[in-house]
Structure 1
Amino acid sequence: MNSGELYACLLVKEFSAQALLRLRPELREKPCVVLDGEPPAETVCSLNTRARLLGVQRGMTKVEVDTFGNITMLSRSRSAEAASKTALLECAGTYSPRVELQEEENVFLCCLDITGTEALFGPPEVLARSLRQRVALLGISAQVAVSGNFHTSMLLAKGLPARTAIVVVPTAQESAALASLPLSVLGISEVHAETLSRWGIRTLGMLAGLPQTDLIARLGQDGKRLQQMATGTLPHLFQPIDIPFVLEETAELDYPLDNLESLLFGVAIMLEQLIVRAAMRVYALASVTIELHLEGGRTHCRTVSPRIPTNDKHLWLKLLHLDLEAHPANAPIDKVCLRAEPGATSKVQLGLFSPQLPEPGRLDVTLARITALVGDNNIGRAVLDDTHTSPGFHMEPFVIPSGNATTQISRTAYGCLRRVCPPEQLTITLESGRPSGFFFRGHRYTVRNAYGPWLAGGEWWNEQTWRQEQWDLIARGDDESMLYGCVLQDLIHKSWLLVGLYD
């Protein structure tokens, strides 16, 4: 062991149960068990403390659990465990880029190389306390053991009593700290366990006191390795993993759900977890995608994106509510998956005497409400299409312009044509093939000047062919008002349309 090495082991016991209960806070104070296996041969694979105090044990069948009375039984969720594992690794990665994951049944176990992190996070006791508090924000209870030896930190974490959350072992005191732990923390084989039991060896301290030569003669090199682990001297080649940063939460429902309010109650908890995980990396949520798995195997996917990244949970809930209300799933929901894209947190510097800007969240909610009324394709900014046909534009979502734009603004004044959407039908009187008068919005107009026609056409190669002529008219109404308009004659459908008004 190098004198400068330092490791922190993060252990989550009853991982299958905690992975499910982290998204169900209403069940945390109730006795709960997790069942695994094929019905009707399901058995308890994990349980919380309240169920254990009632006498429930792992391996019990569903029928045996029913005899205890009011115990909540949940089905094991591999997807929930995978999401929780990702969240825990992300949390560990905020304290050290070197994290090694140990795969063990029904527990989450990883070890952090925290060598040289004291300048960033303080003494090991402070780091361990901070790490455990961050894990608690994820809705998970964990234990942390810190030692200068990799295996010592892992064995201590496994052997910690339930009420002990943190332990830090000073350098050169590993053997004394491990002495009272049972042999079960070593994970030895049944053959070695039976042999040591016959010898009367029950703790690591007793194993450490055996003569090494005799131990190797009876157990081989495994005996030497076990004794080195018991004394805290076994070296280890650290194998760090790549920690992905994926903001995703998954919840499998106990029964199909078709009520939006009930769905949003669970989505709120999932959103809170995504926000906590993003905030750990000093990010905000830029967009959230909700994927609803429906009965029959279909999926319903929607994405909401506010104007600027935000961690306002109530704003996200409102945007999702309005979007799902406008685009319902139309089938009962079996499973919910939330995915988020991170974005930089935004801060606005206001001037001392400048007016206060409106809150971006209010604008997002207002636009979402308008979208629900008029439709997705009828709100945004108009963008011209590369075509001469009418209307010649499409709608795009509003975007915040970049502060680095260098486009020169023209100061030349131009006339403005205001499009009439949709174009209005006109009844026009012609003289010598030119417009002379028409009715518009209850008034009779007499054409003073008519400019045109300008012929246009296109797409003659398919069924969308169009041909039209354009006229610009200056007309006086019977109420002495003046109208400056753009009129199109559809040469295929034989109709006249007012498509715009000039300022």
Structure 2
Amino acid sequence: MVVWCPDWPVVATAAFHRLPVDERIAVTDKGLVFACSAAARADGVRRGLRLREAQARSPRLRDFALDTVQVARAFEPFIAALEEMSPNVQVVQAGSCAVRARGPRRFYGGEHAAALAFLERFAELGVTDARVGVADGLFAADQAARLPGVDLIRIVPEGSSPEFLAPLPLQLLQEEELSLLLWRLGIRTLGEFAALPAADVRARFGEPGARAHARAAGVDPRLVVPRVPPQLRESVIGFEPPLERIDQITFSIRAAAERFVAELTHARLVCTELVVEIGTERGESRERSWLHPRWFSAADVVDRVRWQLQGGSAIESALSAPVTRVRLIAETVDDSAAHETGLWGSGSEERVHHGLSRVQSIVGHEGVLTAAVGGGRSPRERQVLVPWGDRVETRAGRAVSGREGTVPWPGSLPPPLPTTVFELRRPVLLVAARGESVEVDERGELNGEPVRFSETGASQGLRAIEAWAGPWPVVERWWDARASRRLQRVQVVDADGSAWLLALDDGQWWAEARYD
């Protein structure tokens, strides 16, 4: 039995942003539509479309980037509810899960009664259009749940999975190369593919082709593999009556924070990412994720709660009503063995972490900043100062880490990047062979080859240029006449062997950085 929630990425994203599901919403991944709402599909938006084409078809479309963690977290209550009704639940993907039909069929008195009970439970949680498919195999049951129609429950009789799958298209196998090759061979449906001899399919397409052939024939050998429910490590502190003062709240949660950390320590775990959720008597709820360079101690947990209550430029504004509860969630944990003190004591890096964290607890979250590389087109723009322990935020507002990479910046400087970036760019002089200043015309071409260069901007002390490259145009905010900016970049190497990054801005050459 497969329980499927249609358009789950859209449902989860709309709930997170507090939007109605009937709006025109698209969830995008890498510039393509990953999922869309029914209203967006009515305008012609389809999965796989480029975002601009989708916006052209539906001008009122609201697009959001796919957040797999957020989508999976929103589905967790539904998985837990299904596990209460039937054990051994397998999560196929966010929005879809499978159970073995034998147990629910015996308990509820039939497959239809069990499916109806599942749908009623999902409706209580807010999803009224969930569907259930029952078949001999996991693939056939999944297709039965997803097949369009008015029936929310579709049961394929036992032994009839091959006939049910036969007229369906090959694309449902989600094997792009195999489907394309079979299409060229004149095979259009799963039934035509299943009619091929299994031995010939294995010899021609290998083990992946044999598995796809088994699914198409309705003899999917895969079994339901139940998940291991994650142990939620959290602590909830309630206040009755609600507290208004920050010092009262931080004092009240100190013992709970110590127990929270002690439980993790007992399980030989440390918390490296903490989620703090604060609720008020008005029903407001503020949630924020905090990172730590090493791991959270009880004092660190109390500090994060205090900083979140105080608010700031990089944190959500302070709450405007008395606090009724504080919830601490260990979002990311790690084995404590990886964070043990060395045999000969702590290293210099650990002492730096400890010292900076201690100073931060005294002066506040934004009192200790660390330099990081962010997004931007010039080396100066890519210098970002962030609070100690936080992720780097680019100028576009998106968090950047080693796993996510950086957002694209057309016109940005390619590697290798200069090692010395001037805090204030310096005026310089770049002249051609006849002594005139080098300029760039409207077509992006130099009026003369650069031959001499002065880093002071004065005509005295000109040095010969051994090599140069460019120019490369940088155009920013071309759509705004007041804020638009156009630069021309050039790289030069002077007679001393020093390489410079120069920029022509409004008729004046500037030195932005130097390659040491």
- Return the TM-score normalized by structure 2: 0.44
**Higher normalized contact order (CA 8 Å, seq sep 6+, divided by chain length):** 1
- Return the TM-score normalized by structure 1: 0.45
Higher Rg = 1
